[in-house]
Structure 1
């Protein structure tokens, strides 16, 4: 738990980042758009420092909550870059709320230490997987923005997503899906063909456990989405629904399985 696993520096960085995220999440109107952007950027930087400290500042630990924390940070990285190109995007309050939640979860459930017998290439393997998580999460965020903008357009309540065209949001969503699919494919292939080299003596061979089944199902779902897009012109709500299904399966593949082990069953290994 948090008191036994987190260092004072990690606790300080985590608390500062969580509080910084909470400001635009709860008081965006009070501080204004420019102020919310600056505070969100500060929170993103503190979050990055926290992740770096957890990785290099001591014995690294990993679990479902750190995985979610890294995923949220990657999504925010994509948002920080995109907001320079499309300043009309309006998702700061939601992303800031997810940032606060992810950091608190990672502090409370820091996971277990990395296997001492693992290969030095294991962090690269995990980086590929987490990058795929982040890209698909960014695609989900764009799918949500696209759905919200479509509803607003039909209700004629306000301008469509602050001026960002639906086609632009859709194009960005599919770009994230395609990039995430490539990284997920590489991650799966590395685990299949180089699992023994990556995990050393802790590797027990290929088995059809929950993690692999859900990951394979998510890969098939994303493949279906990309084929449907290219061959049958899938778009709009149909594409977003398939994206949500694939992302849900992928979330169950690692984070969900680790949540059951760490939280419900109390097993860290």
Structure 2
């Protein structure tokens, strides 16, 4: 049910997190680096509290919007770590805007209660899946930064205004590789241990989520093989990355959006 299953505490935390994200995004040119960093860190902490409240306290809820919210939270965490190593990264305002939208969306569409027949392994299965979303999302962000870097090179702009192109490329496909490992683990767990994870009667079955997830796995496998064997780079590799990411998004998030919002069903 939309919004009705969200508790007052969850709504309050969501509003605070969204506002904390929005402030540095709206005032990106006026806040100092330290102030913007502090606001984003505080927003990330509140965002994590919202996610924990929805997933750890019974009855636990999950759906397309919480999955997107967790993905944004993971991407923000990766960015925070990376920015310590590579201070040239300049995507804080964009990630803040995405975080604010993700928090609000998850507050409006908190998802449905997880099945009572599910085992204690279900959170692990969901964690692997969402972590793969987060890593592929991070790879997409880096691919976008690669596009910006290529544009700077063509326009003979300041070459020191961001990370070097080769560094961005290396980081992008490291995240793709890590995401592929987790996606593989998620699919294997769902296929081999479906009855254990979801409970009797909820084993692996061929639906839109399964088909799109497998198509995304195949696409990422082709991308990694193409880079390893044929040296794929540039626009071709990025196009395959974007295609796989869209297919993955259509897998769980797309199917749950149709069920929860368009059809008004929980399964």
Residues 90 and 162 in structure 2, CA contact (< 8 A), matched pair in contact too? no
State the superposition RMSD in angstroms. 1.3
> Aligned in 2, Cα 1:34/1:209: closer, same or farther, shift over 3 Å?
same
Assess if the C-alpha contact under 8 Å between 1:67 and 1:255 holds in 2. Answer: yes
Q: Which runs of 5+ in 1 are unaligned?
A: none
Contact 2:128 2:182 in 1 (8 A): yes
Match of residue 223 from structure 2: 225
Tell me the alpha carbon deviations over residues 212-256 of structure 1, each in whole angstroms, 9 at most, x when there is no partner: 110111000000000111111111221111100000000000000
Q: Structure 1 CA distance, aligned partners of 2:3 and 2:220?
A: 39
- Unmatched runs of 5 consecutive residues or more in structure 2: none
CA distance in 2, matches of 1:147, 1:24: 24
| Residue 163 of structure 1, CA deviation | 3.5
1:209-224 counterparts in 2 under 5 A?
A: 209-224=207-222
The structural deviation recorded for 1:3 is 4.6
- Write the distance in 2 (CA, Å) between the matches of 1:170 and 1:34: 28
Structure whose residues are more often helix by fraction: 1
CA distance in structure 2 between the aligned counterparts of 1:127 and 1:133, rounded to whole angstroms: 10
Question: Matched residue pairs, number?
Answer: 267
Secondary structure of residue in 1 paired with 2:51: helix
Deviation at 1:158, TM superposition (A): 3.5
1:268 aligns with: 266
Which deviates more from structure 2 when the two are superposed, residues 206-215 or residues 185-194? 206-215
1:179 equivalenced with 2:170 (yes/no): no
* Match of residue 169 from structure 2: 170
TM-score (norm 2): 0.96
Distance in 2 (alpha carbons) for counterparts of 1:199 and 1:55: 16
Give CA deviations for 1:176-221 in whole Å, capped at 9, x if unaligned.
Answer: 0000001111111111111011111341x44321111101110000
